[in-house]
Amino acid sequence: MSEITIYHNPKCGTSRNTLALIRESGIEPQVIEYLKTPPTREELVALIAASGLSVREIMRSKEALFSELGLADQAKTDDELIDAMLAHPILMNRPIVVTPLGTRLCRPVEVVHEILQPR
């Protein structure tokens, strides 16, 4: 099993490009298509914590569903936002890459270089 995991959406260009960069570095990551296999609450909370980002920063605020569900409301708690991402994984921003060197939301794609070991 790979030491690198990418939470991937194959329809997303940034996600596809990040996956390509990882593969170009000679690594075959574990690919989790999170729309088909969403993380559990515990996994999502751990990803957010490891990334160093806030729950809001991990959310895809440009997704239409974000507005439809009123998630821009600053009164929404982190738990409410996490519940929304669990119910609607499309609200997770992507790609999230996990390596032994750290966890990053790889937007822009070049961020992945921060957590890939040089070969």
Contact (CB, 8 A) for 27 and 1: no
For residue 106, indicate whether it is catalytic: no
Q: Which of 12, 45, 86, 115 is catalytic?
A: 12
Contacts 24+ apart (CB under 8 A), 62-66: 63/90, 63/91, 65/90, 65/91, 66/91
Residues labelled as active-site residues: 12
